[in-house]
Amino acid sequence: MSAGWNRKEAGLFLLALVWLALTLGARPLALPDEGRYVGVAWEMLNSGNWLYPTLNGLPFFHKPPLFYWITAASLGTFGMHEWAARLAPLLGAAIAAFTLYGFTLRHKGATVARWSLLILVTQPFFFGGAQFANLDMLVAGFISATILLAAEAALNAERNLPYKVLLAGAYLCAALGVLAKGLIGAVLPGLVLVVWLAWNRRLVLMRTLAWLPGLAVFALVAFPWFVAMQREFPDFLNYFFVYNHFQRFAEGGFNNPMPFWFYPVAILLLILPWSWWLPATWKPDRLAAETKPTIRSLMWIWPAVIVAFFSIPSSKLVGYVLPVLPPLAYLIAEGLARKWGDTSNPRVLKGSALVAGMVCLSMIVANNLFNHKTNRELSSLIAAQRKSNEPVMFMWDQFFDMPVYLGLKAPVEILDDWSPANTSRTDNWRKAMAEAGKFDPARAGRLLIDHSRLERELCKSPVSWVIAPKGTAGTDPLLKQIPPLATRQSTMVWRLTRSEVSSRGGCRQTPSADSADKSPPPRTAG
């Protein structure tokens, strides 16, 4: 039943990878997530600070740095292109697909392996995740690889076959998963494996999996960054683990509250048309005998544990459950193989793959037709007229994609209401910036500016650019008097000169470069 890698299998995997990468640069950065995460990587590249991520110049510790390292390296190598900004999720998808394909080849043969690969990469959910520049697919890839490598090691140990290289790979992937998104990179694979071995009455194998050299590999890869951050920022561990992991997991009040049944329904809808074939995997009369611990039980327990884990908190984001897609692809492929027998090209499989592929491509087309939440076009308009020494200021919002599309080399001033009452009420970008500012209060004081100081900031430079949400011009007396240079969708842009401000009674006391307010030198020069 087992099969190995050969030229044909490698070619099929590369073809699947090309499919996932085909539309990588076909759409602008989505807001807010892609703009924020790519923006952090862009700052890392331009600042030369590869030690820790910053969001608009302030330490940003919501997540670890691996995604930013990969994305910054990609942007530095290939330039600022959307496809280059999305290589990290593509890498995560490739890792998940490669390990599933290899695992299934060894245990179920070429037919089930090829169908698993085909089903996985044409699931609309997986296809979209592979092209979305946030941390979810990257960590999903490492979680999948950790589970499959550790399961393979357990199966080999049960049969007195070599397993230590596989186990070392599992620990390495777990460590990279922690660097990709935190504790879930190790906790979720561990939970899946413990439940799987307990279900199969093989918990004794945990003694084999708890391998000291593997733990040393994990510690050497995962720990140094966290130690360095705690030395640099004394409150880091409390903020990163206690607040961002445990408190956010346990409490309500965070983004996207959903009922407990949200994830099962979302998954079934997002992997259509393949979810139509899931019932075939349930029929007991079609279950072939397997030696324990069984692979089929692993593939059912894996998604069940992850869905149950993320269903506990009230806040639910759909990308969290991307790690369940590889086992679901396996289960569907195996169920169809048992239903149809070992045929290489069943017509129904081809039809389902064609429909699924059309859905995947339709998502990209629909995004470009109907998603107007992008500042790419507006950024091009500004870039064509703006000189590199003219500062850019954001007002009442944080336009995450603009620093990337404008190629800004330094943070921008953000004018808003930064009072504690306004930054602690809602889990949004203001709260994130205020929390980041606590790690560097002096810099935060220069970048997070009260909106009442707009006139004063405009008087510091001969020309300034102000970007604000559409409909907010009336919140400032000066902007109310001056028509914007451009308006696109939900964003307005002003190009304001000091003389314009002076003609309306402003800049009576124009601050000099060494004035008493101790303002930093040029705020946003690109």
Q: pLDDT digits over 434-475, tens only?
A: 999 999 999 999 999 999 999 999 999 999 999 999 989 888
Is 77 a domain residue?
no
pLDDT for 3: 63
Is 93 a domain residue?
yes
pLDDT for 248: 67
Helices (H), 280-425: 295-311, 325-340, 347-370, 376-385, 402-406, 420-423
Is 432 a domain residue?
yes
Is 228 a domain residue?
yes
- Which of 329, 353, 370 represents a domain boundary (last residue)? 370
Chain-centre distance for alpha carbon 486: 32
What pairs with residue 448 in β-bridges?
Answer: 414
Angle between helices 66-78 and 136-158 (to 10 degrees): 120
Three-state DSSP at 303 gives helix
Burial, 244: exposed, middle or buried (Cβ in 10 Å; 0-12, 13-18, 19+)?
middle
Pairing of strands 463-469, 486-488: unpaired
- Which of 351, 370, 389 represents a domain boundary (last residue)? 370
Count, in order, helices (H) and strands (E) of the chain. Answer: 25, 8
Tell me the C-alpha distance between 338 and 343, whole Å: 10
Judgement on whether residues 340 and 461 belong to the same structural domain of the protein: no
Host H or E run for residue 146? helix 136-158
Residues 101/9, Cβ–Cβ less than 8 Å: yes
Is 248 a domain residue?
no
Residues 57/433, Cβ–Cβ less than 8 Å: no
pLDDT for 247: 72
pLDDT for 343: 58
* Tokens representing residue 411 in the block: 């943070």
pLDDT for 522: 36
pLDDT for 526: 34
Position of tokens 């070392």? 168
* Tokens representing residue 444 in the block: 């935060």
Judgement on whether residues 441 and 469 belong to the same structural domain of the protein: yes
Domain of 484 in residue numbering reads as 376-503
Is 521 a domain residue?
no
pLDDT for 231: 95
Long-range CB pairs of 12-20 (<8 Å, 24+ gap) are 12/114, 12/117, 13/97, 13/98, 13/101, 13/117, 16/97, 16/117, 16/118, 16/121, 17/90, 17/94, 17/97, 19/121, 19/122, 19/357, 20/90, 20/93, 20/94, 20/97, 20/121, 20/127, 20/130, 20/131
Judgement on whether residues 324 and 430 belong to the same structural domain of the protein: no
Judgement on whether residues 229 and 347 belong to the same structural domain of the protein: yes
Judgement on whether residues 167 and 194 belong to the same structural domain of the protein: yes
Judgement on whether residues 129 and 199 belong to the same structural domain of the protein: yes
Judgement on whether residues 270 and 412 belong to the same structural domain of the protein: no
pLDDT for 515: 40
Tell me the C-alpha distance between 91 and 142, whole Å: 10
Judgement on whether residues 281 and 405 belong to the same structural domain of the protein: no
Judgement on whether residues 93 and 206 belong to the same structural domain of the protein: yes
Judgement on whether residues 333 and 426 belong to the same structural domain of the protein: no
Residues 141/95, Cβ–Cβ less than 8 Å: yes
Query: Residue ranges of the chain with pLDDT lower than 50?
Result: 1, 285-288, 512-526
Judgement on whether residues 338 and 392 belong to the same structural domain of the protein: no
Is 443 a domain residue?
yes
Domain count, the chain: 2
Distances (CA, A) of 144 to 172, 176, 347, 358: 13, 12, 30, 26
- Which of 370, 391, 424 represents a domain boundary (last residue)? 370
Residues 334/108, Cβ–Cβ less than 8 Å: yes
Tell me the C-alpha distance between 390 and 141, whole Å: 42
pLDDT for 423: 87
Is 312 a domain residue?
yes
Judgement on whether residues 366 and 236 belong to the same structural domain of the protein: yes
N residues, the chain: 526
Tell me the C-alpha distance between 208 and 85, whole Å: 40
